Structure 1
Amino acid sequence: MDKIIELQNVTAGYGEDIILRNVNIAIHRNDFIGVIGPNGGGKTTLVKVILGLIKPITGKVIYYDSMKEGKQQKIGYLPQNSDTDKVFPISVLDVVLSGLAQPNRLINRFLKAQKAKAREILESTGILHLADKNFGELSGGEMQRVFLCRAIVSDPELLILDEPNTFVDNKFESDLYHTLKKLNEHKAIIMVSHDVGTIAYYVKSIACVNRELHYHQSNIISQEQLDAYNCPIQIIAHGSVPHTILKEHNE
């Protein structure tokens, strides 16, 4: 498979606070990687490095082929908490169109073809009927659907999702994974989650992040492997469905 992004010996952090050390990982087309690990272990920092929002202290990030230029349009990002003003009077369609926005470009200057593309994306996720509705009037699940549409409207080569199922209903979660499975046919996906038991049904590989990164080239991972990766997560079961919890640091 072709590489699209590669991190080589990356150490990253904020000022003198080093969060990640010696990270090595290559992202290929059609990868579906689940990123797990404890809070404060570096998952968000890893995402910021890939997005180019922070530069490595040491090491390098390599963008291949078409990712070299205009990576902002080549990487779609669904954050855990959006910076969209939920009070500002903006329509759902305009929120989605903001995923195509270029610097110094006004929203009302979008072409008809771009608006048609945005409506097509809304339809594919089952929320076209919300296109002209005020964004601030939506439920949490509806907002997440809109943010997903915004993340994919530019047809990125890589889609990154940070805890996409936080504060949403079970139906959205089910619809989300169905949508991601279809998207993964033609784009790479990285999904950050605290629940390896759930995402393991959908991802193809798992990256355990706790200051260091351990890449597991399978979606099947055991408690012994998590312990070996120094990933303080414990697999538990509710009925037939496995979930995970954060272990006590002294265990």
Structure 2
Amino acid sequence: MITAGIDVGSVSTKVVLLMDDEIQYLVRPTGWSPRDAGLNTYKELLAAAGCKDSEVQCKVGTGYGRISLGFIDKAVTEIHCHARGAGYLAGRGGLVIDIGGQDSKAIVINDCGKVLDFAMNDKCAAGTGRFLQVIAAALGVDVSELGELARGRQPLEINSMCTVFAESEVISLLAKGEDKRDIIAGIHRSVARRVWGMASRFAPAGKVIFTGGVAKNRDVRERLALESGSEVIAPELGQLAGALGAALYARELAAKK
């Protein structure tokens, strides 16, 4: 059985082909057209996998651009898809924290990946991937470098988490001669505090499952562990949690046909 999950996010589009238990995937920037990003990334992955669209038995879309995907069989909310994918990757239930391009989510799941409760911040870009991109640009570094630059550094206090004001604050700190590595560490600590402030009401015991693009940032992971007082695990394919969850839902739907 072959099924597909297409997660069109604000920053990146992730597509997963679930071929029995084999996972094939592709990640591409979303750009200005969610519809084109979803379709083109799906076609590119099919070609790379040597698979035809007619062989895919069901396609499920998720993410903010899911409503623009005219070629899918069903759209499922990102909360449910991220929960399902995170549970599959971690092999357990618990608290999932997902930080994406423009929102952050805290989701409590059972061992089957079913949503028991959740909280979401989608009104402000503070603490998201987009926020870190803006800060990285202000510091003159690539966003992929932030994690290593900040590790082991003493974080400076960052007073604002508004993207515009935080950028101005970062520029002011640079002008005062502060080390950019300490500034980044301060930004990461602020991100961890903000996200944990949203998730703390769920009071997890044990491990936190950290997914989304920001989960690849090792320093953010470590500071989130400090804030939460819990072990934070980041599955290797955590950025694909939404797309994988969509592909898993597609497999269920295909089995019912």
TM-score, normalised with respect to structure 2: 0.32
**TM-score of the two chains, using structure 1 as the length reference:** 0.33
Higher strand fraction (1 or 2) = 1
